[in-house]
Amino acid sequence: MFSGCQFSLYPMSDNFVEVILPAVKAMGSPKDLRIETDDISTLVVGQPERVFEVVAKAYEAACRAGGHVVLSALFSRGCPGEPDDPLCTPEGPSKGPSNGAGSDSATRGAVTSPAATTTTVATGVEIDAQFSLYPLGIPGYMNTIAATVGAVKEAGVYDRSKNFCTRLSGDLAAVFAAVERAFEEAARDTGHVVIHLTASKGSPSKKQNSDSM
Amino acid sequence: MFSGCQFSLYPMSDNFVEVILPAVKAMGSPKDLRIETDDISTLVVGQPERVFEVVAKAYEAACRAGGHVVLSALFSRGCPGEPDDPLCTPEGPSKGPSNGAGSDSATRGAVTSPAATTTTVATGVEIDAQFSLYPLGIPGYMNTIAATVGAVKEAGVYDRSKNFCTRLSGDLAAVFAAVERAFEEAARDTGHVVIHLTASKGSPSKKQNSDSM
């Protein structure tokens, strides 16, 4: 299985470079991850729970720099177009080749559910977010999506449904835990799952919108 | 069919509000579109070609304000979870209910291919971009993705393949035309297609990366 994330940080500030670079460096250089940055996004390859962990860490670091900071992240697991990578495979389960969404029981079996059992430690950073989840290759994907939205509601960070996405609100750690759980839940139905997450902290528009709604 | 876009503009500047608001207003208030903005994104609902047109217009306006400006956009058509909307249906073809991806011949039939036949007028705004395309509900979705990447290559804006996405480079109008064409091409295989597009103009990292690659 291949899993990872392409993410970008957008600090709405003249000194955006001074916010982005330290935030990316906050992930460190762990041996169990491959991290590469270009001018559009940063790639993190590794086991999903580790990928979510370090992307949350980078975003938290950027948020603590102050101001309005947005994260845009694409999390993917099991894309049959990507070569397997040992970095992405948990120790223990057999490493089967990923030949297509929904066809790889080894991939589907290698699902953990950290957010379901782990108590998240609040960061104190309140964010708003929206995410879209795509279970690829299966006719019944709308049922999978509905189930993951249900899981997000249980996690207590659900705000409301929007066109094409689901809106969340809460502590950064809780929002990430809920999205990670949705990702893992969907992977029980198909090998190839993608989530796009947009997270926003410090928007000056928020108060205004809250007043009018 | 329901089609539209959720998009956000990220000017990396202290005066981001003064860039975003005029750019969103540059879309105008056309009667054939529904436009709604909250603190995370702006929704545009309407026929796909019109949606691409006004989102490109908003991003172009933001780019002309100067500096480093990013667009993040989710384009969607045919989501079976969204109600049909007359705004989204071209005049002429019958308006069948959208009951699921790949199951609605009326939806699949209502595909135009503007970018394939229309000559785009260059904006003079050079951008880098990356996009991911998700044809939902069909086992053969990887073939659909491969075909759309081929179409983007023909359009002359293909840069390279990255993990989880395809990187593009060129004039803003040419990049948008190629992505729109990929969107329409994929809709021939399934009713429900989503594209996530990230476009970047003026990144200070680009020169540095170009030098080292």
Residue B186 above 50 pLDDT? yes
User: Is the Cβ of B13 closer than 8 Å to some Cβ of chain A?
Assistant: yes
**What is the C-alpha to C-alpha distance for residues B148 and B185, in angstroms, rounded to an integer?**
6
Assign A99 a pLDDT band (cuts: 50, 70, 90): very low
Predicted local distance difference test score (pLDDT) of residue B116:
46
Report field, pTM of the whole predicted structure over 0.90: no
Predicted local distance difference test score (pLDDT) of residue A84:
84
Predicted local distance difference test score (pLDDT) of residue A118:
55
Residue, of B59 and B110, whose pLDDT is higher = B59
Contact B4, B45 (CB under 8 A): yes
Mean pLDDT over each residue of chain B, to the nearest integer: 87
CB pairs under 8 A between A and B: 147
For residue B38, what are the CA distances in angstroms to A123, B170, B189?
A: 25, 30, 33
Predicted local distance difference test score (pLDDT) of residue A104:
43
AA letter at B37 = T
Contact B40, B8 (CB under 8 A): yes
Assign B101 a pLDDT band (cuts: 50, 70, 90): very low
Name the residue facing B12 among A11, A81, A208 (closest C-beta).
A11
Taking phi over 0 as left and psi of -120 to 50 as alpha, with beta for the rest, B153 belongs to: alpha
Q: Which of residues 46-75 of B touch A (CB under 8 A)?
A: 68, 70, 72, 74
B/e letters for A152-173, b = 16+ CB within 10 Å, e = fewer, are beebebbeeebbbbbbbbbbbb
B13 interaction partners in chain A (CB closer than 8 Å): 12-14
Nearest to B143 by CA among B107, B184, B186: B186
The CATH number that domain A3-211 falls under is: 3.30.70.930
Mean per-residue pLDDT, B129-148? 97
Residue, of A181 and A105, whose pLDDT is higher = A181
Residue B152 above 70 pLDDT? yes
Assign A28 a pLDDT band (cuts: 50, 70, 90): very high
Question: How do residues B1-44 score in pLDDT, each as one tens digit?
Answer: 899 999 999 999 999 999 999 999 999 999 999 999 999 999 99
* Residue extents of the structural domains in chain B: 3-211
User: Is the Cβ of B29 closer than 8 Å to some Cβ of chain A?
Assistant: no
Mean per-residue pLDDT, A55-70? 97
Residue A100 above 80 pLDDT? no
Residue, of B55 and B101, whose pLDDT is higher = B55
A74 interaction partners in chain B (CB closer than 8 Å): 132, 164-165, 196
Token pair listed for B198: 């990230």
| Geometric angle at alpha carbon A205, from A203 and A209, rounded to 5° | 130
Predicted local distance difference test score (pLDDT) of residue B83:
81
A8 interaction partners in chain B (CB closer than 8 Å): 70, 198
